[in-house]
Amino acid sequence: MTDVLLETRDLDVTFDIAKRGAMPWTRPDALQAVSKANLTVHRGETLGLVGESGSGKSTLARAIVGTVRPTGGRVLWKGRDITALKPAERRAHGRHVQMVFQDPLAALDPRMNVGQIIAEPLKTHRGDLDAKEQRRRVGEMMERVGLLPNLQNRYPHEFSGGQCQRIGIARALITEPELVICDEPVSALDVSVQAQVVNLLKGLQKDMGLSLMFIAHDLSVVRHISSRIDVLYLGRIVETGTAAEVTGAPKHPYTRALISSVPIPDPRLERTRHRPVLKGELPSPMDPPSGCVFRTRCPIARESCAEARPPLLEAAPGHCVACPFYEDAGAMGGAVSA
């Protein structure tokens, strides 16, 4: 029996953007948010997905859960293509894949109390349970995420940001899913609360046998929770490997630049550290550069980088990088201190 839970194969997501002031029959511009993305999530592991804002992380997650329709490629769940599921099939599949969102308060309906919010997935996927059993399960799940069960009748505005995120986690886990996609679940929280939520997710993963996809732009947070890491730039995966390899021995110049932005706790080392700075701005996904999309900001770019999209090359067993000149990036430095 394979341990692969989820795969994407050459996944594309393109949005049609209407031109300002254009006539209704004018062809819209194409915004390619995700391009030829191939990732794999195994049972019981955490796959980290990192990249700056606009890199396509959230769009890729929504294409996996089905709230955004892919324009190409496939999403495989336990080997079965789920890209074109019918609405009823998609609803049934939703029990196995749940999401935790970035803004904890905005993700909760202010008109519903906490008990109703957490029980909502049960009403959709477990219609065989009566109200008493649903309330019992909600109380148990609240305890598991660190909330008092007697708070079920309170409303989201009565809780802190960290508590609201715990409510969101409880709602995602109430159907006992196999995969939970966490879309920047700690970026809106204080640093001390971030650590509590990350440790909570790690504990729940161990207790419930979950697989996680953890999306963030902070590599230090991703390294703490992830088994493997995929790095995205402008909708393309540019590096993939174990968390130790990607953060300890990064190959792609973009990954090195991301890691250089992570501060080192030692002030002396931080002051003397070489910190590569990316030039220019993130290109528009409506008009990406030819060849390697990172070449316009890359410190080791060559003329040949504009000719063809670089494939993911195996730099070490299980560690792949989309840069044929990755060895030249070693002079940039960059590694997350343990």
pLDDT at res. 265 = 65
Residue 200 lies in a domain: yes
pLDDT at res. 337 = 42
Residue 197 lies in a domain: yes
pLDDT at res. 145 = 96
Residue 213 lies in a domain: yes
Are 159 and 140 contacting, i.e. CB atoms less than 8 angstroms apart? no
Cα gap 333→51, rounded to integer Å = 18
pLDDT at res. 330 = 59
Counting the structural domains of the chain, the total is 1
pLDDT at res. 1 = 42
Residue 11 lies in a domain: yes
Residue 238 lies in a domain: yes
Residue 232 lies in a domain: yes
* Residue 47 Cα to chain centre, angstroms: 8
Q: What is this structure's pTM?
A: 0.89
Residue 118 lies in a domain: no
List, as own/partner pairs, every contact residues 197-200 make where C-beta atoms lie below 8 angstroms and the sequence separation is at least 24, other chains included. Answer: 197/162, 197/165, 197/166, 197/169, 198/224, 198/225, 200/145, 200/146, 200/166, 200/169
Residue from 35, 106, 82, 22 nearest 291 by CA: 35
pLDDT at res. 273 = 63
Residue 58 lies in a domain: yes
pLDDT at res. 91 = 86
pLDDT at res. 338 = 38
What is the domain-level CATH number for residue 199? 3.40.50.300
Which residues in the chain show pLDDT less than 70?
1-2, 262-267, 269-277, 329-338
Cα gap 235→54, rounded to integer Å = 8
Range of the domain at 68: 4-18+28-96+177-251+314-326
